[in-house]
Amino acid sequence: MDYLSLQIRIPDSFSKESKDKLNKWINTIEQDTVDIYDGVNNTKYYFIIKDVNLATYIEETLDNYIQHKIQYNLIIYNKESKHPSSIRINKKGKKIYTKKQTKILSI
């Protein structure tokens, strides 16, 4: 089965208006599982999304928030591939693509 795993880390320095806008956008995406963790300095969201065609849309939308120090990890599971591919933003704000990810990283 093809699906996406999305992790988003939002720092507490993120403005309330931007956070509300991002939450509205998140609610428009059809997801199966949602976990929200409020940490000391950030909030983390975890999603399972069945529609892999949304990967580009999700990536482009979240890229608009990189300058606000948001991080994300989008893992694309494809039944034809032994290992998933991923797109993530590291702590320095650099985008990293992995075609065949053999180890799963968490943000």
pLDDT tens-place string over residues 34-93: 788 888 889 899 999 999 999 999 999 999 999 889 999 999 998 888 889 999 998 888
pLDDT digits (tens, 9 = 90+) for 10-27: 999 988 898 899 889 988
Tokens of residue 6, six digits: 């999305």
CATH number of the domain where residue 20 is located: 3.30.70
Residue 78 lies in a domain: yes
**Considering the entire predicted model, what is its pTM?**
0.84
Integer Cα distance of 101 and 9 in angstroms: 20
**Structural domain boundaries enclosing 78:** 3-98
Query: DSSP assignment, residue 84?
Result: -
Residue 107 lies in a domain: no
Are residues 74 and 86 in contact, defined by beta-carbon separation less than 8 angstroms? yes
